[in-house]
Amino acid sequence: MEIKNDLFLRAARGEKTERTPVWLMRQAGRILKEYREVREKAGNFITLAKTPELAAEVTIQPVDILGVDAAIIFSDILVIPEAMGLPYEMVEAKGPVFPKVIETKDDILKLVLADPEDQLSYVLEAIDIVKKELAGRVPLIGFAGAPFTIFCYMIEGKGSKTFSKAKKMMFQHPELAHLLLDKITENTILYLKAQIKHGADLVQIFDSWAGILSPQQYRDFSLPYLKKIVDAIDEAPKTIFAKGAFFAREEIGKLNCDVVGLDWNMDISESRKLIPNKTLQGNMDPCVLYSDFSKIVSETKTMLKEFGSTKHIANLGHGVYPDTNPDSVRCFIDTVKSYSH
């Protein structure tokens, strides 16, 4: 199906665009009262993510309400460990919690290579519905967590400031760490390929906890697995967003991906020098959206001017925060859309 507004995909491929495309990480979420209504109907986050019709509905909401140039499938990065045999719960005000964690080699060996059409069929069904209902208005982004980030949750069992248990395994039992990372990587490749087969136009890999590693640890425990994933997938463009990994920008830029996501700590002109040949995505501090409209407009224009008129997808440097006023989000999006270089 032909996509009517293909600015996002053209920018991802490095082609010239009439204007800079824009979307937001976590655009389908608590900033929208319409999302909160659907979530209430579902009862909880996991039920919402696992009910294809409802997941599809909240995926499309930001396209209708905010006017973004791409939709991103509503799901969670932790569906992969669950499909591998390690279920999680979403605890209100605490986030994801794994009742059982990975501690031994036996625990790793028990994990399965999931069939996405079976264990993750609810995500693929949601993609099918979204593609049909979008009817080519904008592209759809699929995604997965980076192996290192998923590894962190599977060892730690929950979010953490330090992920010291995960890092402890890397230092004490590196062979077990690599065994688990390999298994996560195999599952992730199959999952992303299935998303593309069902209609995802681009896939993004989120390395949310990249910033807790030293540069050498990142080279050992994350980059090789990111490389495996992007080398295995050639059916659609790929974005890598490694939050906090300012030290790995040049190496990420050399991977077989099309777009590199920047967080707000990554200087734009420096990033252009380090990654000269790829499209960059980002990188406004989400907290700018707490400002008044005139400040949001001026900060957005400053960012757009620095990125320049090509090879840029406008976004925040992380997900939009849940207490952000939707009108402030609209102000950011409208400023991008009306800006001319």
What are the residue numbers of the active site? 26, 30, 39, 76, 153
Identify the H or E element spanning 279.
Answer: strand 279-284
Closest CA to 329 of 296, 305, 294: 296
* CB count in 10 Å sphere of residue 28: 28
Residue 168 exposure: Cα atoms within 13 Å on the Cβ side = 9
Contact 312, 277 (CB under 8 A): no
SS3 call for 311: coil
Counting Cα atoms < 13 Å in the Cβ hemisphere of 127 gives: 27
Please check whether residue 188 is in contact with residue 147, taking contact to mean a CB–CB distance below 8 angstroms: yes
101 burial class (0-12, 13-18, 19+ CB within 10 angstroms)?
middle
